[in-house]
């Protein structure tokens, strides 16, 4: 059976919406509360590969932390990896991963075709 993981932040409405869809689907999945259990660099790289994104494309640019510390700065993709590891609040959410693919579930209903939920 394929492993499904949702990278979840319970304070985010979109993340809660995607979680509700997964719960209603009957599919088995794992919840990773990535704020309490941050991804390491290797996990971030693997997830970015599945998302087909660069680290800078995973950054939540509406977060206060981004606006206060990183906006308008020249930051390399490698530096973004370290920043995302140290500041998981900056990671876009929710992310749903299955096998060799992953999506940012915005809107949450994007998980339905991604996981072939009837």
Catalytic machinery residues: 12
Work out whether strand 30-33 and strand 4-8 pair parallel, antiparallel, or are unpaired: parallel
- What is the separation, in whole angstroms, between the first and last Cα of the chain? 18
Joined together, the tokens standing for residue 67 give: 């606006």
Compute the distance between CA of residue 45 and CA of residue 103 in angstroms, rounded to an integer: 14
103 close to 114: Cβ distance less than 8 angstroms: yes
The count of other CB atoms within 10 Å of the CB of residue 22 is 24
Instruction: Count CB neighbours of 12 within 10 A.
Output: 16
């Amino acid at each position: 059976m394929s492993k499904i993981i949702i990278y979840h932040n319970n304070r985010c409405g979109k993340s809660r919406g995607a979680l509700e869809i997964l719960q209603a689907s009957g599919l088995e999945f794992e919840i990773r509360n990535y704020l309490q259990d941050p991804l390491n660099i290797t996990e971030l790289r693997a997830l970015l590969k599945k998302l087909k994104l660069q680290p800078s494309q995973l950054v939540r640019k509406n977060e206060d932390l981004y606006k206060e510390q990183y906006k308008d700065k020249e930051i390399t993709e490698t530096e973004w990896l370290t920043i995302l590891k140290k500041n998981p609040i900056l990671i876009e959410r929710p992310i749903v991963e299955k096998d060799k693919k992953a999506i940012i579930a915005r809107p949450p209903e994007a998980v339905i075709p991604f996981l072939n939920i009837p």
